Amino acid sequence: MRTRGFTRCGVIFGLSVVIVRLIGGSTGLVCYTAVESLDLGCLLRWDCLHASPNITYTVQTKTQGDPWQDVPWCVWISSRSCDVSHVFSDFELYNMIRLGVHLSPSSTVWIKPHKFDYSDFTFSPPSVSVSLKNDSISVKVQFPCATNRRCSHDACCPISKLIDPWTTVTVYNERNRSDNQSRTVWTQEVVSTVEFSGLSPGQNYCAVANFSFPTFSIAASPKSAPGCVETGSRWGMLPMYCVGLALSLLFLVLFLAGFLRKPRRDRTTADNPPKPLATVQDADSSAPPIFVDPCDIHVELVDDHSSIDSFHGFHKAPTSGAETKRSSQPTHFDHSRGVTVQHEVQDMTFESYN
């Protein structure tokens, strides 16, 4: 597949013809060389007419600012091609390739060098995948794999890892080609994603994409195979709207039912009022008797100094005539109020008459 791609590229760009005349012979040796490039690869082919089967060849490359260097796997070879894709890494610089013909171990003729730049580039078309996001279409562009020394040999290395291509994506209505949109973006990621909005509902839209080498539109890829998707219709969204409306109404009904249930409980409580309280008389009659500890009863005796002196005089000089004044009231418990009532005991005065 790769050889066919290089062959197509060689047909497009033509062949460089270089004639090498060998001084030591009567027959001149003519060599045709051509550079083929596909997806940033580089293949040098040559064909030397009337060349001896014992003639060998060497290929050299040169990058701007560097000297000529042998391609290690293309030194003193007898084949008629050399793949130098792993040699070049910076495609913004000038790159050169040349072929050396070894007429003898000590004699080498170098053919006029070939340049290798964007004018030699050809690309495979990218691939697209289309997805529908709400009312917009998202187009994902995947770039072809490149062969380069900075990429792994075991996995695909997209060319977007080596260059930042300009990517053009076009979305069109399959039934009405006049309904189309196109956008060109500068891709700086491995995969380019472009979104389109404002599309008519219920239509089948397709997307195609191509890309070109940065700042050089001459090196552009063919368009990709279309990727299509059908946009949703307005009537197709109606069931979803109905389901959402029904769920909202159900939630509202449940909320109102829960809110109105609480006043009904309060009304039920009001319809069954509490029983009336018993009368005070019934409460007094049914109240249990109150018992008083005798230790809680206190009796206070209030004396004054004169009575105390008189009391001492009574012991010292008793008389026959005595007048005693007493006034005392006993301490008792008031059952109706439940309190202890204390009465003062008046002082006792003893007077002697001489």
Residues of the domain holding 113: 2-120
**Over the stretch 43-94, which tens digit does the pLDDT of each residue have?**
999 999 888 888 999 999 999 889 999 999 999 999 999 999 989 888 888 8
- Identify the domain boundary among 89, 120, 151: 120
Same domain, 288 and 323: yes
* Domains: count for the chain: 3
My answer on whether 24 and 110 are in the same domain is: yes
pLDDT in tens, 99-149: 999 988 888 899 999 999 888 899 999 999 999 987 799 999 999 998 766
Residue-by-residue DSSP string for 175-238? S-TTSEEEEEEE--SSEEEEEE--PPTT-EEEEEEEEEETTEEEEEPPPPPPEEEEPPPTGGGH
276 assigned to some structural domain: no
Does 265 fall in a domain? no
In-domain check, residue 109: yes
Going 15 to 7 to 187 to 169, the CA torsion angle's sign is positive
Same domain for 229 and 164, yes or no, is yes
**What's the burial of 25, exposed, middle or buried (CB within 10 Å: 0-12/13-18/19+)?**
exposed
pTM exceeds 0.75, yes or no: no
